[in-house]
Chain A
């Protein structure tokens, strides 16, 4: 039987507000336990939540960037359950009336086709604290620094059909929230994480299969692996006569498998009801228009502009707009060079990206900045050095931090464009290799490359390749 996978994601993105969603405590990551939790975060008797307007503005930014409907009236609700890291015994979230509804994003599949992924809703909520077990034998510690950190939960439609699509969608959201400046996207610190709802059904069947929810996936790789494992598990289960049960599962990255956490029957009844401590969030058109006017150029718009203005392929434009900083770096290089945007793109996506990757650096920390890279590309464009030599120059720039021009001068890498010098080198090589010359002239065209190589060797790679080709052809022909 042919099976089809159906995936929906619930992405939790921590909003980059300075204070918490309902209290004035700081949200900075990594502070000593419980130093960023005030009485509101601790759920003390008598305290009340007060909504942070910045969190609302960020949610609206997100909603507008996915073409969603912004609710003029949204409501905070209480999700009730007991857990030590949930001080009030309920999480303040949005339930029936979320602030953002009915949006979509477009992802590009491996074969280049575009696919729309619907976003059912995005709602504001507070994060819980953390339970700590390491280094605390016999007891559990509670750190409430994270309690009350604002989150936006982005719930997709079950529109994805493979783990690859799910990852592409998650990356798209990841890029978007960072573009918008509403989330730092740091997955290791848990600022950006997701739950995946996964089911399978016979190809052609309309009805969805029973789904399992895989909780708390905090890397793209885990999302892909967990989904693939889960799909295989479900298919094997059904094919061997079993039934998938609706349940919550956890992914174990060490074992590379998912395992059951709790079944539907064990699931909490959250007893949602509107939080009487908070007024409905009422948003008017002028507020929305103000937020809209403050939106940055979004990744898709930027990529389209790169294709249009710089003649880049869609693929290249997609890579260069994967982060706001990357795109800005590229445009900085193009503007400084003033031409050859495709060549600039190759350098940013090629050598620069490779070196960043090698040293595990973000683009903002690149050892070769946009001005320096533009200096190098300019020397290729004006034929001072060849593209091949430029690679060596780039490496030297990366190591030393010096400019392209300084390295070209120091190492004498300036390209030889003097016709007579190249001719002299050609004549020399011809004289030293009479046998090959005879063979070439008797029809062995392939030996042309041999002569190019010998001349390049003789000139230390500095001969202008175009000139060399032309002169060599002439000389060899006799």
Chain B
């Protein structure tokens, strides 16, 4: 493995850049060397943009020399390949878009570039963000840096693996049902899915519009706070983004936790949770108690319905969102179509993978005449109940803590033929998406040598409090600073 980065975190690298201990170009070169070296083992990247990264780094150094540097100027990051970038292809992990170059940049891509960050490339992911193991990618699976025989989780598997292997200091990611938090947990890194509407979705290729939210995978909560501040905010091009000021997340990190009311969702601990994982979660909760938090049990009785609810709502929206990939204007087009129907069916048949097709078909079914009420409408009602459960819980607690994933990383191929078992990976994370709540996952130790993640869920727009709670835990522990030996 190439030489390690001078510091593990964005915060430390930003200080190093500011102090002139290394230039952005030097740092970017170091990252690119690690990216290239790790690529055969991890397959974390779909596209590496070395040249553009070095140019951006040179521009960052020039800005710093001119006295125009911001807190993130020159910090290398990488984007999940779901965010449109105009300089390089955006594939969404699919054959459908294998050669698609977007004519525009996603809002968050522009915002992070404007903040001076340097983009190393586009990260691997499950096809159209549909998957929990990164095995549905057209560009091959991503491997978990802690054990390359295992999955990194998904759909933001490339983001989590790259940050865990310390090849990119931070990465953007998206979360529709757990796609940030679950891979963060499985790779031993920090992941944050903000409140629905906190970050613009413009330029993020839609999977399920009412659930999708852009976020981050980082080494630390502090890094997440720094980057989220640059990413978040109202976007006039996204009607569902919320027009409220973005707090100074970094400034709120150090607040003491004394009196923090923590709720443990009873339903999260009832069944299916691996015992050793549960032990790590309980130990983390003990740390919070030591920090002055008051812990109580709460119940969200409808939460166990979140997986079936999600697998109606998300496919319904995806079946419609993915209709635009028809071989007419962009994306994969079949050879010599005989007629319009042939163009559609072969272009889509060839361009989409099995999991994407499964969800399009499920979604088409649940929206069909005669089934809409029984599935889609009923799922929307259950969604309301789940939101109400959370709202009730937040009357008595400030944050909910629990597991992110029922198990640690599983072996590649172990669940590919069993979609239902695969779907159950997201049993703890989906609820926050259905209710639009912010969630995080932070590393809290290991089970069988593999990382375990603790999930934090807060009320709408409580990112500052959540990041504060995660940061205080990370001041007490060093789990987030552990890196896999093979990539040290």
Contacts and interface: CB of A to CB of B under 8 A. Distances in A.
Interface of A: 39, 42-51, 78, 80, 82, 84, 87-90, 142, 269, 271-273, 276-279
B68 interface: no
Given A39-B104, A269-B369, A80 B239 contact: no
Contact of A276 (B209, B236, B340): B209
A42 B240 contact: no
A46 B323 contact: no
Contact of B316 (A51, A82, A90, A273): A273
A457 B367 CA distance: 83
Given A46-B106, A50-B237, A90 B364 contact: no
B90 A45 contact: yes
B263 to A, nearest CB: 29
Interface string B361-384: 000100111001000100000000
A78 B206 CA distance: 15
B344 A82 contact: yes
A276 B329 contact: no
A84 B340 contact: yes
Interface in B308-326: 316-317, 319-320, 322-326
A76 to B, nearest CB: 10
A140 to B, nearest CB: 8
Interface in B335-350: 340, 344
A89 B103 contact: no
Given A44-B102, A46-B106, A276-B209, A88 B240 contact: no
17 contacts: A45-B102, A46-B102, A48-B238, A49-B239, A50-B236, A50-B238, A51-B239, A82-B344, A84-B340, A89-B322, A90-B323, A142-B328, A271-B368, A271-B369, A272-B367, A273-B316, A277-B239
Interface in B157-205: 201-205
B100 interface: yes
Contacts of B240: 48, 276-279
Contacts of A269: 368-369
Contacts of B103: 39, 44
Given A39-B103, A271-B364, A278 B324 contact: no
B112 interface: no
Contacts of B100: 45
Contacts, number: 100
B202 A87 contact: no
B97 interface: yes
Interface residues of B, number: 44
Given A46-B205, A84-B328, A276-B210, A271 B320 contact: yes
A51 B328 CA distance: 26
A46 B320 contact: no
B330 interface: yes
Contacts of B206: 45-46, 277
Nearest to A89: B323
A51 B237 CA distance: 10
A269 B330 CA distance: 26
The 9 closest A-B pairs by CB, nearest first: A89-B323, A276-B210, A271-B367, A276-B209, A46-B203, A43-B324, A45-B205, A46-B84, A269-B369
B250 interface: no
Contacts of A89: 320, 322-324, 326
A46 B376 contact: no
B92 interface: yes
B196 to A, nearest CB: 10
A276 B433 CA distance: 14
Given A39-B104, A45-B90, A279 B239 contact: yes
A82 B326 contact: yes
A82 B347 CA distance: 13
Nearest to A78: B320
A132 B52 CA distance: 41
Contacts of B205: 45-46
A232 B178 CA distance: 61
B84 A45 contact: yes
Interface string B102-138: 1110100000000000000000000000000000000
A435 to B, nearest CB: 88
A215 B23 CA distance: 67
B201 A48 contact: yes
Contacts of B320: 78, 80, 89-90, 271, 273
Max chain B Cβ within 10 angstroms of own Cβ: one of A43, A47, A84 = A47
B237 A48 contact: yes
Contacts of B104: 39, 44
A46 B322 CA distance: 11
B341 to A, nearest CB: 9
A385 B209 CA distance: 75
Contacts of B369: 269, 271
Contact of B323 (A88, A277, A279): A88
B202 A273 contact: no
Nearest to B208: A276
Contacts of B324: 43-45, 87-89
Given A45-B92, A273-B320, A50 B239 contact: yes
Contacts of B319: 80, 271
A46 B92 CA distance: 11
A80 B364 CA distance: 10
A276 B207 CA distance: 11
B9 to A, nearest CB: 30
A45 B330 contact: yes
A49 B239 CA distance: 7
Nearest to B202: A48
B329 A45 contact: no
A276 B239 contact: no
A43 B177 CA distance: 25
Nearest to B313: A276
B103 to A, nearest CB: 6
A46 B330 CA distance: 13
Contacts of A277: 206, 209, 239-240
A113 to B, nearest CB: 41
